[in-house]
Structure 1
Amino acid sequence: MAVPSHLMLKATILFVLIFGVESDIRSIVSDKEALISFKSRISLESPNSLSSWDPNTSPCNWTGVVCNKPGQRVVGLDLSGSGLTGSISPQIGNRSFLRSLQLQNNYFSGELPYEIGNLFRLRVLNVSSNSIEGMLPSNLTQLTELQILDLTENTLTGRIPEEISHLTKLEVLKFGRNRLYGTIPPAISNLSSLTTIIFGTNNLGGMIPSDIGRLQNLKELDLTLNNLSGIVPPSLYNISSLVNLEVASNQLWGEIPGDIGLKLPNLLVFNFCFNMFTGKIPWSLHNLTNIKIIRMASNLLEGTVPPGLGNLPALRMYNIGFNKIVSSGADGLSFITSLTNSTLLNFLAIDGNRLEGVIPESVGNLSKNLFKLYMGGNRIYGDIPTSIGGLSGLTLLNLTDNLISGGIPPEIGRLEELQELSLARNRISGGVPNSLGNLRKLNLIDLSGNSLVGKIPSTFGNFKSLLSMDLSRNRFNGSIPTEIMSLSSLARVLNLSRNYLSGPLPQEVGILKKVVAIDLSDNRLSGNITSSIGSCTSLEELVMARNMLSGPIPTTIADMKGLDTLDLSSNQLSGSIPTEIEDLGALHSLNLSFNNLEGVVPTGGVFKNLSQVHLEGNPELCLHFACINARGRGKVVKVLVITSILVAFVLCVILASLFFVKRSKSRVTKASDTLEGKHQMVSYNDIRLATGNFNPENFVGKGSFGSVYKGYLCQGIAVAVKVLDTQRTSSWKSFLAECEALRNVRHRNLVRLITSCSSLDFKNKEFLGLVYEFLSNGSLDDWIKGRKTHANGNALNVVERLNVAIDIACALDYLHHDCEVPVVHCDLKPSNILLSDDMTAKLGDFGLARMLMETTGDQPSISSNVLKGSIGYIPPEYGWGEKPSKAGDVYSFGIMLLELFTGKDPTHESFSGSLNLTRWVQSAFPSNVEQVLDPELLQLMSSLHSNGEEPLSADIQQGCLTTILGVGLSCAVESRDGRISIRDVLHKLKSARDTLLKLQATMAEHRALATDGR
């Protein structure tokens, strides 16, 4: 019997409805199971954010869960900012209807589950600000519906996949603040819907994709803090929709188009800091009336500040610091007046340039929102205007390293929000106004290197939040205020050195339990060192040299377990050396010279290595083996001493009757004066015995001014003895230059001068010798040329070479910027760089060194017609008669750096005609640097890659090597004004090393995971 059609239709509809309801029930059940599994991975210690997730209720009623229709499917999960801890369950991939997954601002760890690639309907994925690690899931690029992908601020590693271009609907792409490496995939330029790219703070290298200009909808591009190099693609400047453009802290160069403001009319944020851009400040940026941030600090920009700053009412930050911007005349800073129209300005930095002029009174009319003002490192002169007291919101005022004169205006005391006051190294005079005591929020004050007089105000005791105080190199007198010693907040530095302070060391010094360094040297302090000093348990450096302190060394010094440096030299201390000092395990430098100490020198701790200890000038001190039964033989010792004096007197009379030239005698006196109070002189016979009568087996090498021998002083200390060739007319000049240069310098990366000898040999001929610490790993030249290798036969690897370069840059930075009188080395080359047991590089041979007296700029005060330096390393301007300069040392450093990484010295036979080391490297830079790298270095890198490390290391090492060679080229440019400073060199090399060390740590993590089977 046939069923009527209308009954058949009703039955079908009923079946579909029943089946559909049952299907929906099964679907919501599966969603609930996936969410319960997700919850099971959440730590029980997390806040009770998921208390509503009751298995007996519908998930559509749970916190953070969104369903498309009541009782149907879960399409959204938003648990952002819920404080959740744990890992993300792989079951998340079972919610196939999910369109939005937002887990940002939590504490999720572990990896992103691979199953997340199953969410093919997903449009928003935001897991930013967590602790997600590992690599991106390979199937993440299958989520073709994604519009927002935000993984910012995690610890993700690996590369950005080329397949990212499959996400054609992507609008927001954020991978910032992770550990991603490799290059930016060129295919990213095909994602025409992109409005936001945030890749900042990773380890990305290579160049910015040349076709990036195709992203005509792009509004925000952030590539800061990576290792990108090359020229910014011109097409980038054609994306007229750009609002934020940030490429700071890379190795990008080239000129910024002057009309960039016309091409990018919507710009609000422009950040090109910490690169190598040249040319001038783009004039058109000053026509963008809506722009908020202009940052171009730490580049190579030159010229003047273009007009138009008065057109920027919305400007909040203007930072052009550390370039080569110039101005002249008293009104050279008049552009500051234009900025008074920028009523929202909160950050202004023009420091580290070549700006000349007087600070205008209008500075006080700048925005009341201004909280940081950097003007240091220029050629600013005149007084500090009293109007500066009107900047009521200021938290930082930095005017260091200028030519400012006059007094400190009392109006600065009105800046009650001020946290940092830096007026160091100017010509400021007069007393310090008591009103500075009103700055109760101050955490740093630096008034060093001026001509301030009078007493240190007791009102400084109001600085209850102070972390660091430097009042050194002034003319303060009177006693040290107890109020300063009561500043328990001090945690960094208290430096009162090189003043005229007198009286005892206040007992309150023991209150400074947090301070890391105290320097009270070169004053007129007297009395005993208070035992309360031992309460400064955080001290790492204590310097009280060249005072009139007396009495014993307090045994409580042993309570400062972290002490690294202790200098009590040139005082009137008496008694024995406390044996408790042996217990200071961190102590690496001890100077007790030129006191009245007596008794036995301890033998433990720092005293095991006497090269780290200075005890000269304490005639009553004796080594342990020389003091046995000393009391019982006192009379015998006295007889021997008197007899020795008489014999010496007779010999002197005989020698004085001889006819040898007065010239030798006068020169000996001159050399002795040079080192007076600094080193104990040794005799020719001491050196002869130390070197085994100059045994050829102890011969180390020959330099331009003499020969070097290895030897051992009587205490068994290994030393290097430089014997100058007195037949050379310049040997005396070299000897005195080296003594003068090294007399007041002390740095871990400078070869330490132990003592000197200016005497007569056994043939009554003039003898000049310098005794240095011995560095067992030879010279850098030995390593570059293969004469020295590691025990396994390997040459220096990338990190070791970079460490050497950083060590020498540190030494030059100290000589150029941190010495009382700047020193230029004049002969920087690999043979003058020595390596210690732990491969620390130290700069030696100061025979050509020159001291830069206080003249204009970087120019030294001496003049000479003699070319200073070694062929190949001499900067071009020296050949034109210019005087030695810091820039000259930078050139030599650049050549050394290129030689270190290419293995070719600048006089290599392959360089002829116009071809030299710099041009050869330039020819392969930046895309083919492997063509010029040292073959030994390439072989080491290749062996690493063959061990399976290549996927992690190739691009990063390539980017770092490009950076390093780029630094060398920036140093070795022919124009002295075109070279970067050694401080910039140091910053860039340290950044490259940090990247390499992060790479090593990442590879170690991956090897550990592989070992664990994960």
Structure 2
Amino acid sequence: MASPIFTILSLFIFSCFVLSTPATCSSNETDLVSLLSFKNTVNDPQGALYSWNETTHFCSWNGIQCGRRHPNRVVAINLRSQDLMGTLTPHIGNLSFLRSINLQNNSFRGEIPNEIGRLRRLESVDFSNNSFIGAIPRNISQCPNLFYLNLIDNNLSGIIPQELGSLYKLEALGLSGNELLGPIPPSIGNLTSLGVLSLTLCGLTGEIPNSLVRLHRLTFLSLAFNNLVGTIPSGLFNISMLREFVVNRNQLQGSIPGSIGLTLPNLRIFYLGQNQLSGGIPMSLSNASSLERIQLTSNLFTGPIPRLGRLSLLSSLSIGDNPVNDDISFIASLTNCTNLERLLVYEIPLLGGPLPHSVVNFSSGLIELVISGTQVRGEIPSGIGNLVALNRLVLSNNDLEGPIPSDIGKLSSLQELFLEGNRFKNQLPSSLGNMTLLSYLYLQENNFSGNLPQSLSNCTKLLGLDLSSNNFSGLIPREIMSLSSISLSFNLSFNAFMGSIPSEIGSLTNVENLDFSNNRLSGLIPNSLSNCLVLQHLFLKGNLLQGEIPPGLSALRGLVELDLSRNNLSGTIPSFLAELHLQRLNLSYNGFHGEVPRTGLFRNRTAISLDGNKELCGGIPELNLPPCSSKTSSKKNPSSLPKVLIAVVISGGVFITFLVFLVLVLYRRRRPKENVASIESLVGTQFTRLSYGDLLKATNGLSEANLIGSGRFGSVYKGILEDHGKTLIAVKVLNPFVKGAFKSFMAECNALRDIRHRNLLKLLSVCESIDFQGNDFRSLIYDFKANGSLDKWLYHHVEQEGLRRLSLIQRLDIAIDVAHALEYLHFGTDSTIVHGDLKPSNILLDHNMIAYVGDFGLAKIVSDMFPAQESSSSIGIRGTIGYIAPEYGTSNLVSTQGDVYSYGVLLLEIFTNRRPTDDSFKEYATLQGFVSAALSDGILKIIDPLIQIENDKSINKITDCVVSVLSIGVACSKDLPRDRMSMTDVVRELHKIKDRYLSANRS
């Protein structure tokens, strides 16, 4: 209900405009009523509009700026990132002196009112990162002074109005991340003052209009992730001011002018990937001396690859998946590119020649080297250990041979090593164990031989290990079986391993896929497999295993596929296999006997294979097995149940099935259209789906006793999945009535669908259903972390909470864990992922105090769409005050450097125990300013006193360590993105600090 003051003032303004002459009205009263109307249509959970009341003049209200020439008239509204929700009042059109309005990073919904077209003085509009719907107002073209229009990341629909072409002063137009239709209107070519045009991920169709060639002041052009067809107008390659040319992921055809390197002298970012472009790669690219990033992947380019050694600023080159016919020797020239960080050459079948020895002379800052899917031959040159910054090395599916050089162990930063599909031979060097940060080691389909080096057990961060299809022999080292970090896959199949499967296999508590097939393994299947509760696929076929199927397998409730075929197993088929959620079971060619179960998976003939077990009987008729003896049947045949009970159960089942079907039909009819897009399209099928009933049971009815946290978009409950091995889970339940919750839910699913890392919170399952009241129910199910959030450990009273004090080394380990997670998000996948909301409450700790980064509800997948450290499809990103990078408020950046800024603040917070919004350092403005001053004046006064209590006798060692850490925090949280460290450097430096500290304590 409107307040009395608002009602009175509304009537007053109405009388002014309708019943009286203009002289009767006070213009500042018009502005007052308009602002009160604005407040009246929004929800303000953070109290951002608390000062908006009649006790003070509106010119002093938060976010309001009045003019100098007209001191009582509103000229600017800046309410960026204030957590506001609601609609935008049409009264905004009465603020006739308004020049700027910024509502970025809120949750406004509804349509943008047409009355905005009445603001003739309007110069800047920023409504990015909201939930506005409907069409872009056509009459915004009546704002002749508009030079900045940012509507990025909303839910706007319809076409781009051709009337926008009359905004001749417009310098920046951002419409990316909406649900627009149709072509780019040719009238955009009239905006000859335009410097930034961002139309990424809009669903646009048609051709790029030739009129865009008139935009001679254009410096940034992004049309990526649309459905554009036709050719790129040749005139665009003559706009000499262009610095970023991004048109990847469309259906564009044609060739690129050979002179592009001369006509675009300022070009820094050049992304053409995932199109249908053809012809030669312009040789003149070597003349574009400002080029930093080149992406030409997945096109039809032919001919030779330019020698780009003169591009001293080049940091990234990706030319994969093209029918290029050339020699790999082109990469030798890249040794002159001293800023090169990434080189990706993949899926080029006609690329041949010997691997140049000069690769060992690449930039010492090289982070990623990919040469795969080619005919490149030769050996990995000795000296590869010179590339000390390398964290990803992919040389898979080539024609490489010879041994792996032992100095590869010098790559101490390496996290991913892929050498599969070559002809490498000899034993693995023991130096592989020096790469203790390895997450992925894939060496399958080679000619390696001999025993596995026990030093691999030092790689305690491994997530995936694949040594299949080689000639390894001997026993499986028990030490390697104890790598509990492995969660994706452990594959030793198609080798010559012998002996028994070590009981230490039970240490693989997180592994999902386990394959020891086709070896010479003997003995019993270890019962310790019962500890592998996450296991989904277990393959032990083609060995010499004996004995019965161990009862421990009954604990593997997540098992989807089990293959024990071609062994010497015996005994009866255990009934618990019918109770598992298996989709495929192969027990063929063993010595099993007795009755085959008739329930569960055993009812599906195509899902089971029992061939070669001559003493089996019973089962479903389709198996064509002989009937069992009456003695066996009396014990196990369900026909002995009372027929009445069976009839009741069947009838009840039919009735329940009908009810479920009816509910689903009604639910689908009532679901809003915009939410029809299922999470299946994002998360795929790799996650176990749980029902609303499952989660209700696990959380005791979502009771308050199980509530462990709540936020803006929902609440988190602790639960136990009884039917999944008593698995502890954390259930994040989205509030369907909060705007932005669904968007956050989909962002989190999208970010987590393809990423796995030891320090990222693991998504176990998803649920999209309806509750018992018929409301939408969406939840994300995570692995429960026993020690809760870092925020709790930093700020709660440790005695009252029963928590230990965080030691210095624990804080350092937590900082390193989080740094590893961010480095993986930024550099560890094909897509660059920006977390967007790094803070202590989003860092969770397990029982070993290992840190995990969670809450990806604000994550942005930058992919190849923009340079990760420069641009994005969004001119802003939500976050938390104190952790948001300053450039998010002033420019069109969503970048990895924004995460680095947040990490820097977090790092300072961990070691000072002061929040970035603390009042104790107001004279320094920020936490980093406060710490910077203390670094020169003495840090003892700002270090968390609990660290000093830890060991007063070693205060000098502690001080040295903390000074080094805080220096990194300050360096990461610099105001300018280019001055900040990269997460790769942060990881390396933090490890050095830890090593020095531990060494000092040992001496």
Structure 2-normalised TM-score? 0.58
**Whole-angstrom distance in 2 between the partners of 1:89 and 1:507:** 68
Which of 531, 534, 559 is residue 530 of structure 2 equivalent to? 534
Q: Name the counterpart of 1:499.
A: 495
**Whole-angstrom distance in 1 between the partners of 2:110 and 2:411:** 48
User: Counterpart amino acid of 1:568?
Assistant: L
SS at match of 1:549: strand
SS at match of 2:230: strand
Q: Name the counterpart of 2:43.
A: 41
User: Counterpart amino acid of 1:560?
Assistant: L
Which of 371, 386, 389 is residue 393 of structure 1 equivalent to? 389
**Whole-angstrom distance in 2 between the partners of 1:475 and 1:107:** 59
SS at match of 1:270: strand
Q: Is the 8 Å Cα contact of residues 506 and 531 (structure 2) preserved in structure 1?
A: yes
* Structure 1 pair 91–25 and aligned structure 2 pair: CA distance change class (3 A): closer
* Structure 1 pair 458–73 and aligned structure 2 pair: CA distance change class (3 A): farther
Q: Name the counterpart of 2:985.
A: none
**Whole-angstrom distance in 2 between the partners of 1:133 and 1:458:** 60
TM-fit CA distance, 1:377 = 1.0
Q: Name the counterpart of 1:26.
A: 29
Q: Name the counterpart of 2:603.
A: 608
- Tell me which of the two structures has the higher relative contact order, counting C-alpha pairs closer than 8 angstroms and 6 or more residues apart: 2
* Structure 1 pair 622–413 and aligned structure 2 pair: CA distance change class (3 A): same
TM-fit CA distance, 1:261 = 1.6
Structure 1 residues 832-862: Cα deviation after superposition (integer angstroms, max 9, x where no partner): xxxxxxxxxxxxxxxxxxxxxxxxxxxxxxx
Aligned residues, how many?
Answer: 610
User: Counterpart amino acid of 2:222?
Assistant: D
Identity score, percent:
42
TM-fit CA distance, 1:52 = 4.6
Q: Name the counterpart of 2:436.
A: 440
Q: Name the counterpart of 2:297.
A: 297
Structure 1 residues 917-976: Cα deviation after superposition (integer angstroms, max 9, x where no partner): xxxxxxxxxxxxxxxxxxxxxxxxxxxxxxxxxxxxxxxxxxxxxxxxxxxxxxxxxxxx
1:699-738 equivalence runs, <5 A:
none
**Whole-angstrom distance in 1 between the partners of 2:556 and 2:113:** 50
User: Counterpart amino acid of 1:618?
Assistant: N
Q: Name the counterpart of 1:623.
A: 618
Q: Which moved more, 1:540-549 or 1:399-408?
A: 540-549
Q: Is the 8 Å Cα contact of residues 595 and 628 (structure 2) preserved in structure 1?
A: no
TM-fit CA distance, 1:588 = 2.1
* Structure 1 pair 388–21 and aligned structure 2 pair: CA distance change class (3 A): farther
User: Counterpart amino acid of 2:33?
Assistant: S
Q: Does 1:515 align with 2:511?
A: yes
**Whole-angstrom distance in 2 between the partners of 1:22 and 1:632:** 101
Q: Is the 8 Å Cα contact of residues 27 and 72 (structure 1) preserved in structure 2?
A: no
TM-fit CA distance, 1:203 = 1.7
User: Counterpart amino acid of 1:183?
Assistant: P
Structure 1 residues 621-675: Cα deviation after superposition (integer angstroms, max 9, x where no partner): 11247665627799xxxxxxxxxxxxxxxxxxxxxxxxxxxxxxxxxxxxxxxxx
Which of 330, 335, 339 is residue 330 of structure 2 equivalent to? 335
* Structure 1 pair 141–524 and aligned structure 2 pair: CA distance change class (3 A): farther
TM-fit CA distance, 1:303 = 1.4
TM-fit CA distance, 1:504 = 2.4
**Whole-angstrom distance in 2 between the partners of 1:56 and 1:560:** 66
SS at match of 2:254: strand
CA RMSD of the aligned region, Å? 2.8
1:283-682 equivalence runs, <5 A:
283-307=283-307, 309-327=308-326, 332-353=327-348, 354-585=350-581, 587-624=582-619, 630=629
1:828-847 equivalence runs, <5 A:
none
Q: Is the 8 Å Cα contact of residues 39 and 49 (structure 2) preserved in structure 1?
A: no
In structure 1, list runs of 5 or more residues that go unmatched.
1-18, 635-802, 808-990, 992-1014
TM-fit CA distance, 1:83 = 4.7
Q: Name the counterpart of 1:159.
A: 159
* Structure 1 pair 306–28 and aligned structure 2 pair: CA distance change class (3 A): closer
Q: Is the 8 Å Cα contact of residues 312 and 339 (structure 2) preserved in structure 1?
A: yes
Q: Is the 8 Å Cα contact of residues 618 and 627 (structure 2) preserved in structure 1?
A: no
Q: Name the counterpart of 2:194.
A: 194
TM-fit CA distance, 1:109 = 4.7
**Whole-angstrom distance in 2 between the partners of 1:112 and 1:452:** 64
User: Counterpart amino acid of 1:146?
Assistant: L
* Structure 1 pair 190–506 and aligned structure 2 pair: CA distance change class (3 A): same
Q: Name the counterpart of 1:901.
A: none
TM-fit CA distance, 1:425 = 0.6
Structure 1-normalised TM-score? 0.57
**Whole-angstrom distance in 2 between the partners of 1:368 and 1:111:** 52
TM-fit CA distance, 1:397 = 0.7
**Whole-angstrom distance in 2 between the partners of 1:86 and 1:341:** 55
Q: Name the counterpart of 2:266.
A: 266
Q: Does 1:203 align with 2:206?
A: no
* Structure 1 pair 289–91 and aligned structure 2 pair: CA distance change class (3 A): same
* Structure 1 pair 579–472 and aligned structure 2 pair: CA distance change class (3 A): same
* Structure 1 pair 125–484 and aligned structure 2 pair: CA distance change class (3 A): farther
Structure 1 residues 486-543: Cα deviation after superposition (integer angstroms, max 9, x where no partner): 3333232221111112222233333333332222111112222222323333333221
TM-fit CA distance, 1:388 = 1.9
* Structure 1 pair 433–55 and aligned structure 2 pair: CA distance change class (3 A): farther
**Whole-angstrom distance in 1 between the partners of 2:591 and 2:626:** 17
**Whole-angstrom distance in 1 between the partners of 2:550 and 2:338:** 58
Q: Does 1:173 align with 2:173?
A: yes
Q: Is the 8 Å Cα contact of residues 497 and 521 (structure 1) preserved in structure 2?
A: yes
**Whole-angstrom distance in 2 between the partners of 1:201 and 1:234:** 23
In structure 2, list runs of 5 or more residues that go unmatched.
1-21, 634-679, 685-864, 866-1003
SS at match of 2:62: coil
TM-fit CA distance, 1:20 = 8.3
**Whole-angstrom distance in 1 between the partners of 2:88 and 2:451:** 64
Q: Name the counterpart of 2:226.
A: 226
* Structure 1 pair 385–630 and aligned structure 2 pair: CA distance change class (3 A): same
SS at match of 1:310: coil
* Structure 1 pair 501–629 and aligned structure 2 pair: CA distance change class (3 A): closer
**Whole-angstrom distance in 2 between the partners of 1:220 and 1:198:** 8
* Structure 1 pair 561–178 and aligned structure 2 pair: CA distance change class (3 A): farther
SS at match of 2:300: coil
Q: Does 1:145 align with 2:145?
A: yes
**Whole-angstrom distance in 2 between the partners of 1:619 and 1:20:** 104
TM-fit CA distance, 1:108 = 4.2
Q: Does 1:95 align with 2:95?
A: yes
1:862-873 equivalence runs, <5 A:
none
**Whole-angstrom distance in 1 between the partners of 2:590 and 2:481:** 26
User: Counterpart amino acid of 2:334?
Assistant: L
**Whole-angstrom distance in 2 between the partners of 1:81 and 1:66:** 17
Structure 1 residues 536-589: Cα deviation after superposition (integer angstroms, max 9, x where no partner): 33333221111111211234434333332221111111111122222223x222
Q: Name the counterpart of 1:75.
A: 75
**Whole-angstrom distance in 1 between the partners of 2:450 and 2:497:** 10
**Whole-angstrom distance in 2 between the partners of 1:345 and 1:454:** 37
Structure 1 residues 595-646: Cα deviation after superposition (integer angstroms, max 9, x where no partner): 1111111111222120221110110111247665627799xxxxxxxxxxxx
**Whole-angstrom distance in 2 between the partners of 1:268 and 1:205:** 27
**Whole-angstrom distance in 1 between the partners of 2:157 and 2:521:** 57
